[in-house]
C-alpha cells in the first residue's frame, strides 16, 4: 500500500510537469526584476510608444574586410526582418542640401554613389556630425549598422539575435561584432538556459558524490534526490501553468530546492539505516523523523519567506516557489520515500565515533573566524554598489570584446533618449526663443562628463540652414531623411540621442542628475515642455537600487 501511494504521488508530479512545460519561457531583461510602475521602466515604455522603437543593436564591421556592395546587401536584408524598425548604415546615409523655398523640400543625395559599376564612399561622411562615430568611425576603419528594434520586440532577444546572425552568415559576412542591450540579454538568456538545463546535472552528481561517501550505496544516494527532484518538477509545472518567465534570479529556484531538499532524504535514510534491524523499521523511521524534517523545512522557509514581502516581482516569485519547493521536498520525504525503501536491504552498519580535533586547530579556527568577522564590515564597504551589464560576462567573452571595440572605434558604448514634448499635448512646435534655449540646452548636454556625442535635429538644422520649426514640418511630411527620421522627431515630440562611453549604473545615475540639472537651468522651457529621459542603463540602475533596498529589507 505504501509503495502504491508513492508511485501515485510521483505520477501526479509528472502530470503537473507535463501540463505546464509548454508555458515555460525566459526573460533575461532587467525589466523582469521591476514592477510595472517603476519610473525608469515607465519612461522607457513612454518613449517607445511615441517613436515606435525599443532600443537598438549596433553591428560593427571592419571597412577593410567589408565591401560597400556587401554592406548595402546586408543592410537591406536586415531592414526586411519583421522586428526591425530601421537599419541605418553608410549606404543609407544621405547628405542633405539647402532648403528649397519654392518646392518646400530639402534636396538630398546618398553618401555612397556608383562609379564605373562599383560603389564609392564620399569621404565627407567621416566628418558629417550626424553620422560620424555613429555609423562610421571618424578614421574610416569601421562601418556600423544601427538597427532600431520595433516596439513590442524588446523581450524577443532569444529570437532576434540568432535570426540576425543567420542573415549575416548567409550573406557571407566573415567577421563582425554585435553590441546592445538585446545582445547582452541574449547572452544572459544563454546563461539562464545553461543554469536551467545544463548545470543541475552537475549539482546532482556533486550531491550524489557526497551521499555516496555517507551511505556507500548507490541506491540510497539516488533515493535522497527523489523528493527534491519531484518538488522541482511540481514547481516548474506550476510556473509553466501560470505563464511565469524564468529570469536570472528565479533560475536558481531548482538549485536551491535540490541542494536544501536532498538533506531531508539524507536524514530520513540515515535514520532508516539505524532502524533497519528493528521491527516496523519504516514506520518507526517516519515517526522519529517527520517532526524534525518538517520543522527543519519550516525554519528554512522562514528565511526565504522574507522575500515574499518585498516589492520586486523576481524576489517575490523566488521566495514563493523556493518556500513551496522546500515544503514539498519535506512532504515527499515522509510520504514518497517510505514506499521506495525496503527493510530487507542488510543489517545495521557500525558507525564509528568522529575523531576529536587537536586543540591547536580549534583555537586557530576560532581566531580566524573572529578576525574575519572584525575585518568583513570594512571589506563590505569597499564593494562597489553598481551594475554594468557587460561586466556580467568573462573578460575574454565575445560580448566584452565587442564592447571594447565599440568604445575604441566609435567613442561610446551606451545611448540614452531624452524626449521633449509639449506639456499641454498636441503637435510639437517651437518659438524663436525656445529654439535658442534648446540650442543652449544641447550645449549643456554635450558638456556632461561621460557624454561623447549628442545627436539631435540641431545637427540637421545647422547642416541645411533650415530653422528648426520648419525642419520638423519638412521631415514629418517628406522622406528626405528616410527611416532615420524616427531617430530625431515624431509628430508630437523630438528627441536628443545622448551617447556615453560609460555603461555602469552609477554613471547612469550621475548622467541623469546632470541632465536634470541642465533642464532646471531653463525654467521657462521646463514650464512649456515635458522632458523624459530613458535608457536601458537607467533601468539597470533602478534594478541595482531596488536589489540593495530589498536585500536590506529582507535582512
pLDDT at 276: 83
Is residue 88 included in any domain, yes or no?
Answer: yes
Together in a domain, 205 and 331: yes
Distance CA 154, CA 149 (A): 7
Q: Which of 336, 551, 279, 530 is nearest to 425 (CA)?
A: 530
SS3 8: helix
Together in a domain, 201 and 285: yes
pLDDT at 235: 94
Give mean pLDDT, residues 242-254.
Answer: 84
Give mean pLDDT, residues 463-468.
Answer: 82
Q: Is the pLDDT of residue 533 over 60?
A: yes
**pLDDT tens for residues 112-140?**
988 888 899 999 999 988 899 999 999 99
Together in a domain, 283 and 216: yes
Together in a domain, 201 and 248: yes
CATH for 283: 1.20.1640.10
SS3 315: helix
pLDDT at 353: 62
Q: Which residues pair with 132 in a beta bridge?
A: 136
Q: Give the global pTM.
A: 0.77
Together in a domain, 225 and 278: yes
Together in a domain, 223 and 339: yes
Q: Is the pLDDT of residue 474 over 80?
A: no
Give mean pLDDT, residues 16-32.
Answer: 79
Together in a domain, 454 and 323: no
Give mean pLDDT, residues 398-409.
Answer: 91
Is residue 161 included in any domain, yes or no?
Answer: no
Is residue 250 included in any domain, yes or no?
Answer: yes
Together in a domain, 201 and 143: no
81 CB-near residues (< 8 Å, 6+ apart): 160, 163, 164, 167
pLDDT at 203: 81
* 133 Rama class: left (phi>0) / alpha (psi -120 to 50) / beta: left
Q: Is the pLDDT of residue 446 over 90?
A: yes
Domain-ending residue, one of 284, 319, 347: 347
Q: Which residues pair with 451 in a beta bridge?
A: 500
Q: Which residues pair with 516 in a beta bridge?
A: none
Where b means 16+ CB within 10 Å and e means fewer, 445-457 reads beebebbbbbbbb
Together in a domain, 138 and 237: no
Distance CA 327, CA 311 (A): 23
**pLDDT tens for residues 320-361?**
999 999 999 999 999 998 888 876 544 555 555 666 778 898
**Packing angle, helices 398-410 and 181-193, rounded to 10:** 170
Per-range mean pLDDT, top range of 104-118, 127-141, 298-312: 127-141
Q: Is the pLDDT of residue 453 over 80?
A: yes
Q: Which of 518, 512, 489 is nearest to 430 (CA)?
A: 489
Q: Is the pLDDT of residue 304 over 60?
A: yes
pLDDT at 233: 93
- 23-27, 171-175, 315-319, 492-496: range with lowest mean pLDDT: 23-27
Whole-Å CA distances, 166 to 79, 171, 249, 511: 14, 8, 30, 36
Give mean pLDDT, residues 20-44.
Answer: 79
Together in a domain, 126 and 234: no
pLDDT at 345: 47
Is residue 121 included in any domain, yes or no?
Answer: yes
The count of domains in the chain is 3
Is residue 301 included in any domain, yes or no?
Answer: yes
Give mean pLDDT, residues 478-497.
Answer: 81
Could you tell me if 280 and 224 are in contact, meaning their C-beta atoms sit under 8 angstroms apart?
no
Domain-ending residue, one of 347, 362, 378: 347
Handedness of CA 181, 183, 189, 190 (dihedral sign): negative
Domain boundaries, position 134: 55-150
Is residue 380 included in any domain, yes or no?
Answer: no
Domain-ending residue, one of 319, 347, 375: 347
pLDDT at 352: 57
Together in a domain, 313 and 457: no
- 150-164, 234-248, 412-426: range with lowest mean pLDDT: 150-164
Together in a domain, 212 and 340: yes
Amino acid at each position: 500500500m505504501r509503495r502504491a501511494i508513492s508511485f501515485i504521488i510521483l505520477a501526479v508530479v509528472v502530470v503537473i510537469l507535463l501540463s505546464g512545460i509548454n508555458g515555460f519561457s525566459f526573460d533575461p531583461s532587467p525589466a523582469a526584476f521591476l514592477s510595472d510602475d517603476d519610473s525608469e521602466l515607465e519612461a522607457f515604455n513612454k518613449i517607445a510608444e511615441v517613436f515606435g522603437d525599443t532600443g537598438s543593436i549596433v553591428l560593427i564591421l571592419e571597412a577593410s574586410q567589408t565591401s560597400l556592395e556587401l554592406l548595402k546587401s546586408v543592410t537591406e536584408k536586415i531592414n526586411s526582418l519583421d522586428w526591425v524598425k530601421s537599419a541605418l548604415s553608410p549606404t543609407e546615409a544621405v547628405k542633405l542640401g539647402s532648403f528649397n523655398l519654392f518646392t518646400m523640400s530639402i534636396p538630398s543625395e546618398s553618401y555612397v554613389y556608383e562609379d564605373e559599376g562599383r560603389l564609392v564612399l564620399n569621404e565627407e561622411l567621416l566628418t558629417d556630425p550626424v553620422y560620424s562615430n555613429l555609423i562610421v568611425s571618424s578614421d574610416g576603419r569601421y562601418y556600423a549598422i544601427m538597427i532600431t528594434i520595433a516596439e513590442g520586440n524588446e523581450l524577443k532577444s532569444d529570437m532576434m539575435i540568432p535570426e540576425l546572425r543567420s542573415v549575416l552568415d548567409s550573406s557571407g559576412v566573415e567577421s563582425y561584432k554585435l553590441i546592445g542591450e538585446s545582445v547582452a540579454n541574449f547572452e544572459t538568456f544563454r546563461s539562464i538556459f545553461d543554469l536551467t538545463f545544463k548545470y543541475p546535472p552537475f549539482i546532482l552528481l556533486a550531491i550524489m558524490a557526497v551521499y555516496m561517501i555517507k551511505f556507500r550505496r548507490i541506491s540510497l544516494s539516488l533515493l535522497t534526490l527523489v523528493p527534491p527532484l519531484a518538488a522541482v518538477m511540481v514547481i516548474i509545472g506550476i510556473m509553466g501553468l501560470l505563464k511565469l518567465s524564468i529570469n536570472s534570479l528565479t533560475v536558481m529556484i531548482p538549485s536551491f530546492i535540490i541542494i536544501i531538499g536532498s538533506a531531508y532524504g539524507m536524514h530520513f535514510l540515515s535514520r532508516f539505516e539505524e532502524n533497519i534491524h528493528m521491527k516496523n523499521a519504516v514506520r518507526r523511521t517516519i515517526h522519529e523523523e517527520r517532526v524534525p524534517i518538517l520543522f527543519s523545512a519550516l525554519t528554512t522557509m522562514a528565511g526565504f519567506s522574507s522575500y515574499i514581502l518585498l516589492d520586486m516581482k523576481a524576489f517575490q516569485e523566488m521566495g514563493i516557489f523556493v518556500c513551496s519547493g522546500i515544503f514539498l521536498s519535506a512532504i515527499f520525504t515522509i510520504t514518497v520515500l517510505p514506499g521506495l525503501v525496503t527493510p530487507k536491504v542488510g543489517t545495521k552498519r557500525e558507525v564509528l565515533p568522529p575523531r576529536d580535533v587537536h586543540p591547536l586547530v580549534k583555537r586557530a579556527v576560532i581566531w580566524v573566524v573572529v578576525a574575519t568577522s572584525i575585518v568583513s564590515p570594512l571589506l563590505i564597504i569597499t564593494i562597489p554598489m553598481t551594475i554594468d551589464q557587460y561586466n556580467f560576462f568573462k573578460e575574454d567573452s565575445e560580448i566584452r570584446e565587442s564592447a571594447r571595440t565599440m568604445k575604441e572605434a566609435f567613442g561610446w558604448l551606451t545611448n540614452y533618449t531624452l524626449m521633449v514634448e509639449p506639456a499641454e499635448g498636441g503637435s510639437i512646435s517651437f518659438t524663436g526663443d525656445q529654439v535658442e534655449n534648446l540650442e543652449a540646452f544641447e550645449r549643456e548636454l554635450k558638456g556632461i562628463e561621460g557624454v561623447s556625442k549628442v545627436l539631435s535635429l540641431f545637427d540637421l538644422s545647422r547642416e541645411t540652414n533650415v530653422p528648426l520649426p520648419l525642419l520638423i514640418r519638412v521631415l514629418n511630411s517628406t522622406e528626405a531623411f528616410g527611416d532615420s527620421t524616427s531617430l530625431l522627431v515624431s509628430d508630437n515630440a523630438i528627441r536628443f540621442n545622448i551617447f556615453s562611453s560609460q555603461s555602469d549604473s552609477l554613471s547612469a545615475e550621475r548622467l541623469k542628475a546632470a541632465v536634470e540639472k541642465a533642464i532646471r537651468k531653463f525654467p521657462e522651457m521646463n514650464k512649456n515642455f515635458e522632458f523624459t529621459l530613458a535608457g536601458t542603463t537607467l533601468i539597470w540602475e533602478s534594478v541595482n537600487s531596488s536589489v540593495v533596498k530589498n536585500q536590506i529589507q529582507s535582512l
